[in-house]
Amino acid sequence: MKDSTDVDHRKVNQMPSHPPADINAEDYASFLPPDRRKSLVPPGSEWWPWKGHQVHLLRLPDADAPLRMLVVHGAGAHGSALWPVASLLAGRGVDVAVVDLPLYGKTKTLSPGTVTYKDWIDLLVDLVAAEDDGRPVILLGASIGGLLTVEAAARSCSVAAVVATCLLDPQERDARSAMTRLGRLAAIFMPMLRLVRGPIARVTVKISWVANLSLMGRDPGLGRLCAKDAHGGGAWVPLGFLASFMQHPHSEARTAVLPVHLMHPGLDAWTPSELSEATVRTLPGPTTSRPLRGCGHFPLEEPGLQDLIDGLEAVAADVLASTK
């Protein structure tokens, strides 16, 4: 992979003449416990060309690590937002990459109005294949990135396990009510999603208008940060993308026998853990479930943050044991 100097930026999304200052990993790290902030490791940055996109990746490389981990964000974050958590894996025998999916982070696309949820799935499948070096890979999905990673892993022969902090299924009424500002009214609008096509599909809305980001974390300041982050919760996304996500059945996730480990925040005020637990019961398994104690939807608090690290290390140990 190489730097993005070969990208024709004149053809990429038109940006305002005075774009807002970037919100970076350090801004999100300020919500970590003080002793954790000292452990923040700066990431390496790379670009991967994929179907008209220049996909941005953050790296914590370890060529000697016996396995790799790909971290996947949801609808209100991006790679740099998750980096404070991902970087806590430094020195733990894991080669870590964090991806910016199209419409988010620093990834560039020539046709943002045509991006769909299926593109996210296809990208992850192709990225796992492109980076396959023989080492087993674990996918870590946050928020709606949880079921996304299960769906992608079901289509890949290289994923050894999935860890998800959330497993919201947009096909379920209660999940739709929780994930959007519409609440119970979301069910009324579902049939209308079939009409989102053609020029209407290219109309963009701020994700913060759709998702109640004030419930992102236990600290209200975290939700405000996400909402104003133009690369994350403040990003503009086409209606076609939202419609494609809400209508995706995630049927392949229900057919592949794949280890899936749910690690849902115990104090998630946005997406109740019982919604994720209900999805786990529909997966063919093997599956496990463990709460992250004291954490909000974005798991940055203790002791749940340590629970997440311990859980990831346990999954990694299981994966390595199964490959011997």
CB atoms within 10 A of CB 3: 10
Q: How far is CA 91 from the centre of its chain?
A: 23
Per-residue pLDDT of the chain (324 residues; tens, 9 = 90+): 444 333 333 233 333 333 445 889 999 999 999 999 988 899 999 999 999 999 999 999 999 999 999 999 999 999 999 999 999 999 999 999 999 999 999 999 999 999 999 999 999 999 999 999 999 999 999 999 999 999 999 999 899 999 999 999 998 888 888 887 665 555 556 556 666 678 888 889 899 988 899 999 999 999 999 999 999 999 999 999 999 998 899 999 999 899 999 999 999 999 999 999 999 999 998 999 999 999 999 999 999 999 999 999 999 999 999 987
| pTM of the model as a whole | 0.90
Q: First vs last Cα of the chain: how many Å apart?
A: 30
Contact call for residues 271 and 242 (beta carbons, < 8 A): no
Query: What pLDDT is stored for residue 171 in this prediction?
Result: 87
Query: What pLDDT is stored for residue 9 in this prediction?
Result: 33
User: Whose CA is closest to 138, among 154, 158, 168?
Assistant: 158
The answer regarding whether domain 24-175+249-323 maps to CATH 3.40.50.1820 reads yes
Mapped onto helix, strand or coil, the DSSP state of residue 301 is coil
Provide the residue ranges of all domains of the chain, joining segments of one domain with +.
Answer: 24-175+249-323
Phi, psi (rounded to 5 degrees) for 59: -130, 140
